Amino acid sequence: MHARYSTLSFCLIALAFMAWGQCPFTPTITPDNLILCPNENATLSTQPYDAYQWYKDGSLLPGAVGQTLPVSAMLDAGSTFTVEATLDGCAEMSAGVLVDGWVFLPPYVQHGGDEPVNSGPNLEFCEGDTLLMTLSPGWTHSIVWTNNGIPIPGESSPTLIVTTPGSYSVSAATETCPNYVLGIGVAVDVAFIPPLQPDIVDLGGEICPYPTGNSTQWYLNGLPYSTDDCISPSAPGAYTVFVDYGQPCQAMSEPWVSTGIGAPSAAPAAPDVSPIPASNVLRVQWPAGSPATGAWQLLDMVGRRVLGGKIPATGMALLDVGHLEAGNYLLAAPGFGVRHVVIAR
């Protein structure tokens, strides 16, 4: 009776296994939560069995009959893998494992600091301005800033301070995937424009800005003093002048320092110049009563004297300018201020 009962139990267990279609083992795949960086490779594996067959998204992988299976982010991210393992003639399929992959938005650069005077197609600033270039959030590792394609020594922080012209770019990686380095894909061309800055010309009693512009503002020791084109300093101190040239980049002049002031004298009327522009001869009509001992000079755009002579007591002076290069000049004489002269060819 006992023997019959044992035989019957064995048969029932065997029938149960046949009905369920299961082996007495279940293969598993490790790792079961694999997330790959964009340039990363990895290996899936299962336990030791007699034979193996791997599947990708339900399709048999020809030749994939080992205990391990190599996978890559480029070819396999987003796919589900299973393995059929055989032991003692019984084959069993594992549960599926997803091979996932990290996806990043490409890095980009945000601009800060001073406002550019021109933002397209290049960024243009005035000399002395500062551009701040900041990497997009998350790109904090392996940062390399370049200027004209050459890495900038010591610059590995997310923000770059730019004060010199060049063509700037950057590459970086994230903390999650520190070996995946990606560049922004473009270079940012940056230029810095020298500001127009007037010089102060000392005419022996008057000081004048050179070159002249749309408007003039004089300062004495930093305080507004006069809006005349030329002034006769009335007190000791540092005189500066700002001339509006209608340009985005303009600067105050260097200071002209007076240590003592003599008694001012009335200035005669300024001379008339014609034609404007002149080609070979410039006519200068000096006002009556001009001091015969005075001197005049014609200055080029960098303040160099190109012509000069004595001021006549009255009447017209004809100046030969045919040998001078075309451009802008300044006729200056003590007590008369300055006159803008244009020579054309």
Q: What is the pLDDT along the chain (345 residues), one digit of tens a residue?
A: 333 333 333 333 343 343 344 899 999 999 999 999 998 999 999 999 999 999 999 999 999 999 999 999 999 999 999 999 999 999 999 999 999 999 999 999 999 999 999 887 789 999 989 999 999 999 999 999 999 999 999 999 999 999 999 999 999 999 999 999 999 999 999 999 999 999 998 887 889 998 889 999 999 888 899 999 999 998 888 899 999 999 999 999 988 888 765 444 444 567 888 888 888 998 888 776 665 556 788 877 666 788 888 877 667 888 899 999 888 887 877 666 677 788 887
| CB neighbour burial string for 190-226, b if at least 16 within 10 angstroms, e if fewer | bebbebbbbbbbebeebbbbbbbbeebbbbbeeeebb
Q: ω before 334 within 30° of 0 (cis)?
A: no
User: Domain 109-193 classified CATH 3.30.300.30?
Assistant: no
**Strand pairing report for 281-286 and 315-320:** antiparallel
Which residues make Cβ contacts (< 8 Å) with residue 252, sequence separation at least 6? 197, 219, 240, 241, 242
Ramachandran sector of residue 219 (left: φ over 0; alpha: ψ -120 to 50; beta: rest) = beta
User: Domain 24-101 classified CATH 3.40.30.10?
Assistant: no
CB 267 within 8 A of CB 337: yes
Which residues make Cβ contacts (< 8 Å) with residue 89, sequence separation at least 6? none
Superfamily (CATH) of domain 272-343: Immunoglobulins (2.60.40.10)
User: Maximum CA pair distance of the chain?
Assistant: 154
Domain definitions of the chain by residue range = 24-101, 109-193, 199-258, 272-343
